[in-house]
Amino acid sequence: MSRKFDLCKIVKIGMRALKRAKVPLYWSKYSRKDYTIRQHIMLIVLAQYVGSIDRMLQIVREMRKIQRVMRLKKIPHKSTISREVRRIPERWIRIVIREIVKIIGIPSKFAVDSTGIQISYRSYYYTVRIGEIGRIREILKLHAAVDIDTKLITNAIVTKLHANDSPYLIPLLDKEKIEEVYAGKGYDSLRNIRFVLEQGGEPYIAIRNKARRGLRRRLLEKSRAA
């Protein structure tokens, strides 16, 4: 499948999924109606697939077929997409991603990881002045599963900053058909390894130094030698 055909197919699948899910076209009857919510969602998903908003906008400008499928009369500015990313509920984006992954590539290879998200809007100097620097850390933690082949985020969970990574691997992947799973030492646990093996996948999970021996190590070595 060519890259361009792949992108057109993704857009068609996504737009149909949004229509079936009855995602509204506009936030309210007073919206400017330059773009629909469904168009914004598809553009966000495409940006995930190609790697950046700038690259996505360049592709959409060049491919009239995508514009026709999405019924885009004009191309939005990068800032418009960035604003909508913060407004659109995660569940709507997930509707599209799940449908795309289900049709285009199953079983899949997944990478699982986490990162901190800064949610404080205070000025650094103001925080120092009032004496709260170092005491208040307004940060959340994002745990995400990414389909390696399609570059799409298939699932995400937001927790408090100090939440352990390990308990979230299974919730991120429990509805997926797994071929391989790549994760860091934070996801090293017997429960996670067994879960991947039971799903018919191969676990490529880094082992912590204190677990160089034992059942986890043997399970990983056995799965890779098969």
The alpha carbon of 198 is separated from its chain's Cα centroid by a whole number of angstroms, namely 24
What is d(CA 39, CA 45) in angstroms, rounded to the nearest whole number? 10
Here the tokens at position 91 are 């569940």
pTM for the model: 0.59
pLDDT at residue 1 in the model: 39
pLDDT at residue 120 in the model: 56
pLDDT at residue 110 in the model: 92
- 151 close to 98: Cβ distance less than 8 angstroms: no
What is d(CA 86, CA 152) in angstroms, rounded to the nearest whole number? 18
pLDDT at residue 2 in the model: 43
pLDDT at residue 162 in the model: 80
- 203 close to 187: Cβ distance less than 8 angstroms: no
pLDDT, tens digit, for every residue of 128-146?
A: 666 655 544 557 788 999 8
pLDDT at residue 103 in the model: 73
Residues of the chain where predicted confidence (pLDDT) is lower than 50 = 1-2, 4, 135-136
Instruction: Go through the domains of the chain in sequence order and give each one's CATH number.
Output: 3-101 (no CATH), 105-225 (3.30.420)
pLDDT at residue 15 in the model: 92
pLDDT at residue 83 in the model: 85
pLDDT at residue 105 in the model: 56
